[in-house]
Amino acid sequence: MSRDRRSRSERVDGLLLLNKPAGLTSNQALQRVKRLLNARKAGHTGSLDPAATGMLPLCFGEATKVCAFLLDADKTYRVTAKLGTATDTGDATGSVVETADVPPMTADDWDAVLQGFRGESLQVPPMYSALKKDGKRLYELARKGETVEREPRPIRIDSIDLLEAAGRRLVFRVRCSKGTYIRSLVEDIARAVGTVAHTARLHRETVADFRAEEMLDLKTVEETAAEGPTPLRERLLPPDRALTALPEVNLDEAGAERFCGGQPVSAGKRETAGLARVYGAEHVFLGVGEMSGDGRIAPRRVFGRPGGRPVDI
């Protein structure tokens, strides 16, 4: 961005849940919305492949500070698998590398197979991924025709529900932990019944506690911004909306001032440890703190002082 462009952009704080269309990278989608908002600072969390659609949390201004917390969030996907055909990328953008017969199976048979993937397990990441091996992205090596050994990574499948099983088409919904590669999951499911498969369509329905109905299509974003950035800015969610899974701590005026100044403060009679959302007077969101278990909470990410002046520590 040029110096003139940066000088014309404005401070914009908040979250936008974009229903990313197919054909755009996550960063391309972010930059398009950033221009429509005329926002100075922006980031996204939980990248989607260009061919994938669905929820992409876009963070602007102070809300970029929640990106790290959203990276650890659980996600829900609607997955369409094409059975009997494997591709080099694991999705529909790749070249066919293998075909196989698909065994005759009933919906109950498929459901039993899917349920076998619930719980914690180790998953080998696909070659077409952004993980690094000796300083190089795996997808860079894959494009050169190279295959390297990948260490299995722990994942967790909380739920996996069959939606449709018809011929070579298998559709299911899965809620899973961070780091779960759906393309690898589809291949593993096919392998479990003696065939091959690839991910034909992938749509992310939820991230963390965000609901699917909170998403905005890119067309809606563009239409809302047609009269200027203000109507679109009014559709943004507050930063703490991304942190509803954390417990809430409320501080008095003196405690809020010390917390925003980087000092640990009393959180009342709390014996639990871990991260929490912290609020000051009139429920002004101050940031994220870490409770020590002895009734005190220390600032870990400060979003603003009482009165709204942003700070960082």
The pLDDT tens digits for 264-276 are 999 877 768 899 9
* Residue ranges of the chain assigned to CATH 3.30.2350.10: 3-72+210-239, 75-204
Q: Which CATH number fits domain 75-204: 3.20.20.70, 3.30.2350.10, 3.40.190.150, 3.40.50.300?
A: 3.30.2350.10
pLDDT at 4: 46
pLDDT at 103: 96
pLDDT at 5: 47
Q: What is the mean pLDDT of the chain?
A: 90
Give the pLDDT band (50/70/90) at residue 204. Answer: very high
Spatial separation of the C-alpha atoms in residues 59 and 41, rounded to whole Å: 8
| Residues whose CB is less than 8 angstroms from the CB of residue 80 and which lie 6 or more positions away in sequence, other chains included | 169, 170, 171, 199, 200, 201, 202
The strands making up 248-250's β-sheet, listed across from edge to edge, are 248-250, 273-279, 285-292, 296-302, 265-266
Range from 20-24, 104-108, 243-247 carrying the lowest mean pLDDT: 243-247
Q: Which residues are catalytic?
A: 49
Q: Kindly tell me if the per-residue pLDDT of 305 is higher than 80.
A: no
* Residue ranges of the chain assigned to CATH 2.30.130.10: 246-302
| pLDDT top residue among 135 and 215 | 215
10 Å CB burial of residue 121 (0-12, 13-18, 19+) is middle
Q: Could you say which architecture CATH assigns to the domain 3-72+210-239? A: 2-Layer Sandwich (3.30)
Residue whose token pair is 């100044």? 261
**Can you name the CATH fold of 246-302?**
2.30.130
Radius of gyration of the chain (CA): 22
pLDDT at 304: 61
| pLDDT top residue among 307 and 106 | 106
Backbone phi, then psi, for 240, in 5-degree steps? -70, -10
pLDDT one-digit tens code per residue, 90-146? 999 999 999 999 999 999 999 999 999 999 999 988 877 777 777 777 777 778 777
